[in-house]
Structure 1
């Protein structure tokens, strides 16, 4: 069958049916440049990027230290790998040491990858591999949270707590179970139902990416304590919350007891290169440093530890570690929340949730019921028409601007959002 679409539209992207995209496609909307926290499309329209590309462009488009570090690396060693090779790029060794030093002890060992989905899968697989290598092969089940998001992939989709993705992608891994809410009684009840001797790990986000609802730190602290008493690994997915997004390097560093693994991604390279990491506690590493079968953990890909990503990561750490930078992220986040709260009374505007630069504006009907995903997506398009790029989700509008957002840009964001709220036609 011959395609009805012009050859110019060869790219297959996104989650929407491509027939919808091609029917409505306007080449003028394709992005051609970025400067600071704004992007410009082919028609010359300028937008404030309140979604940071896909939540990963944390330092905006004009972070010269990151660009310069990548250019220097291109001139020095433009490629390399840590996969099945005894000569890792020295920049990968340096970056792993820097990153591990910023993590709470005993999280001191780093594996690199390209995406958060890849490294979330790696975490679950590593937990199971650890069990096989230490004489506990029946520990296979991973417990995750309904509405949690851990990416897409053969195992990541199963770990993600979105039933519609499970329906679309089945069959999935049969050893993943979900609790309906991140509470200790629910987790422990499911552990007992499965059998503690068959559970290998619990996976949780500090802030639910599908709901922008903060998981309480007391829950995380108790979860680590109770799971450790049962020899169950706790994996914290900080792909979104890490690298400064919530105002600290990680949320895990606020816990009195560190989890067994932390997954990082998105902002690690400020979005300038595909980069993710799995940081592993020393006891797990030590148990696998000399495995009985002389088999290293069989997981990885060609471009893991790529020198350009490592150079970008080091430069990002320099920015995040600069005196006052993360404190300013927290202050700007609080300022933005105050401005967003001032939208109360505008048609559709609900409550504001989140912290740092990971925020959400609730969208509600006159009767208080939340907007559907389809309604929020329509509103996202209204925001776009008013020069504001955002994401969308059921019942709320995620706002994930770069960490470098200025006070003036906070005002711009809210002004554009207010105009969009007033212009949007709501389905009641």
Structure 2
């Protein structure tokens, strides 16, 4: 017993058995004396572990029924009785006394009292429901945050707070929204990175969230650059070269955001995008109508498929009806795909599928123009008339024959050489993508040329029409094959469905973007702006030809303009010089495309007259040093 602390021994009381009267004789123990029972005292002072354990064992031994043979001898019983008196009492279970107190209060007619009654009053009740409603009137509590090591996991910002060029927080902006750790997510992945300090010395698996740092403007030289890991050139983008692997300069010219016709890189430099990404961002960056349509569709139905089963998405059905209403009347059906390359290949496969289904399996050969571009892939690479691609990706899919572009005599000879009975299709672009070569007068892109499709403007009746790139303004991948009712009937008469497609074909979010593009182009103002600004670009570029003889030709229609450069002798400009011109334009704030010796202008359809002036001005400043160098070399000769 601890010193300096008074301890009460349990009281011994005489208790009658249940059902016995006061006159009935008391039950005698083995020694002939009365059996003493303890009344437990609530909230007895804490004792040592050993004393409490002995006391519990003693109580359990007394609680078991005993026969006379099991009872100890009188001397031992007296010693045990004295031992029990010496041991302090253990605290009784909390439930006994409060429950009895609550029951006594209930029998007396008063409200229940005690800890149990208070606990019952705090117990949450089922939400009230009203007839005709399926949801409760009370709002359910949000699920608790994931706890790690007994403490709530810290919340991390979804994105860094907006900052200005110097790295200071921008005034008047709300703080970044906090994200809750996903249920079951890895603590190490969600909360920390290698090298971060532990939030608790005994919990080394929990890491503190990294502090937000201001973005630096100086070039990247081996620093962490705000990323989770040191930069290692993990991304293999198409233009990556061996020289790029020696430095991390690509970090500063990495594109971060865009608005209108302009893009911004990581260092803060702004560029006029005269190539519209890859000719596909036809409505510029940050179009609110497209973004809103995609966001709403993402919340309504973020995924869907039209390749298998008989339940296409509703938005795909609506879009097909709206699209065919804008195309020539004979194109009544649309097959939605993902990319332009897939659309080109799908059109050829569909042609061969229909021929085979109707007893013409030998008709598999295809004709295409040189300098035409139909994408890359198993068949699309061979359809594209670019010899350098054929050399590096050989062997190619057989059955494709290229013809000199816009040469009717060469086309007739090719038909005779291959044989009409073996041909299945002839694929071409109204404006050849390579070097921008439009069809000559009298010969015979989605809005790029100033109309929904150049074939519509020219009044042609193709059996199949392939739409891609600007169909969603580049905001999401989508392509389409529009075809006739006759081809559809022939395909449906086959023994099996047409086996071409992929999982993401006709993705509902992409289709929502395409619907918004139709809304933007519906009134015709953007298409007319493409025609007007295209004529302005050609006029401004032609005005430079008198002073800059390197400008050999200016051609194109709408927002597809090509400026061909040649030297004084009419020879093509070397590839190294064209690459230097492209980089000089980028340093001047304009992003250009080049193809062989042609500078290509494919800006967004929403470009303004001031931006056209800036574009031609940068072209002049980049071409003039090349022309002056050519004059110096000619004078030396």
State whether residues 353 and 491 of structure 2, in contact with CA within 8 Å, keep that contact through their aligned partners in structure 1: no
SS of the counterpart of 2:519?
A: helix
Whole-angstrom CA distance in 2 between matches of 1:338 and 1:24:
41
- The reply on whether 1:262 has 2:485 as its aligned counterpart is no
Residue 110 of structure 1 corresponds to which residue in structure 2? 334
Task: Spell out, residue by residue over 1:158-188, the C-alpha distance to the aligned partner (whole angstroms, 9 max, x if none).
Answer: 1111111111111111111111222222222
Shift of 1:270: 0.3
Match of 1:364 among 566, 570, 576: 566
The alignment's C-alpha RMSD in Å is 1.7
Residue 244 of structure 2 corresponds to which residue in structure 1? 21
More displaced stretch, 44-53 vs 280-289: 280-289
State whether residues 31 and 41 of structure 1, in contact with CA within 8 Å, keep that contact through their aligned partners in structure 2: yes
C-alpha change, 1:256 and 1:33, in structure 2 (3 Å) is closer
Whole-angstrom CA distance in 2 between matches of 1:398 and 1:109:
34
Match of 1:393 among 577, 580, 595: 595
Shift of 1:272: 0.4
Whole-angstrom CA distance in 2 between matches of 1:203 and 1:19:
37
Match of 1:182 among 406, 417, 422: 406
Residue 370 of structure 2 corresponds to which residue in structure 1? 146
Q: Mapping of 1:125-204 within 5 angstroms?
A: 125-204=349-428
Q: Mapping of 1:12-51 within 5 angstroms?
A: 12-14=236-238, 16=239, 18-23=241-246, 25-26=248-249, 27-51=251-275
More displaced stretch, 208-217 vs 36-45: 208-217
Residue 239 of structure 1 corresponds to which residue in structure 2? none
C-alpha change, 1:76 and 1:335, in structure 2 (3 Å) is same
State whether residues 113 and 276 of structure 1, in contact with CA within 8 Å, keep that contact through their aligned partners in structure 2: yes
C-alpha change, 1:261 and 1:217, in structure 2 (3 Å) is farther
Aligned pairs, number: 399
SS of the counterpart of 1:273?
A: coil
C-alpha change, 1:184 and 1:351, in structure 2 (3 Å) is closer
Whole-angstrom CA distance in 1 between matches of 2:446 and 2:411:
28
C-alpha change, 1:140 and 1:217, in structure 2 (3 Å) is farther
SS of the counterpart of 2:297?
A: helix
C-alpha change, 1:358 and 1:22, in structure 2 (3 Å) is same
Shift of 1:378: 2.2
Q: Structure 1: 5+ residue runs without aligned partners?
A: 1-5, 221-241
Shift of 1:251: 0.8
- The reply on whether 1:306 has 2:515 as its aligned counterpart is no
Structure with greater Cα Rg:
2
Whole-angstrom CA distance in 2 between matches of 1:367 and 1:257:
39
Whole-angstrom CA distance in 1 between matches of 2:574 and 2:504:
39
Match of 1:76 among 300, 303, 307: 300
C-alpha change, 1:207 and 1:93, in structure 2 (3 Å) is same
Task: Spell out, residue by residue over 1:197-227, the C-alpha distance to the aligned partner (whole angstroms, 9 max, x if none).
Answer: 000011111111112110236333xxxxxxx
Match of 1:384 among 586, 601, 610: 586
Q: Mapping of 1:190-339 within 5 angstroms?
A: 190-216=414-440, 218-220=442-444, 242-291=445-494, 293=495, 295-339=496-540
State whether residues 274 and 615 of structure 2, in contact with CA within 8 Å, keep that contact through their aligned partners in structure 1: yes
State whether residues 391 and 398 of structure 1, in contact with CA within 8 Å, keep that contact through their aligned partners in structure 2: yes
SS of the counterpart of 2:596?
A: coil
Residue 40 of structure 2 corresponds to which residue in structure 1? none
C-alpha change, 1:19 and 1:52, in structure 2 (3 Å) is same
Residue 346 of structure 1 corresponds to which residue in structure 2? 548
SS of the counterpart of 1:218?
A: coil
Match of 1:55 among 260, 268, 279: 279
Residue 92 of structure 1 corresponds to which residue in structure 2? 316
Whole-angstrom CA distance in 2 between matches of 1:416 and 1:211:
20
State whether residues 139 and 198 of structure 1, in contact with CA within 8 Å, keep that contact through their aligned partners in structure 2: yes
Whole-angstrom CA distance in 2 between matches of 1:323 and 1:190:
40
Shift of 1:277: 1.0
More displaced stretch, 298-307 vs 366-375: 366-375
Residue 236 of structure 1 corresponds to which residue in structure 2? none
Whole-angstrom CA distance in 2 between matches of 1:348 and 1:183:
27
Shift of 1:371: 1.6
Shift of 1:347: 6.4
State whether residues 214 and 354 of structure 1, in contact with CA within 8 Å, keep that contact through their aligned partners in structure 2: yes
Whole-angstrom CA distance in 2 between matches of 1:416 and 1:259:
40
C-alpha change, 1:338 and 1:257, in structure 2 (3 Å) is closer
Shift of 1:122: 0.5
Whole-angstrom CA distance in 2 between matches of 1:197 and 1:25:
57
Residue 231 of structure 1 corresponds to which residue in structure 2? none
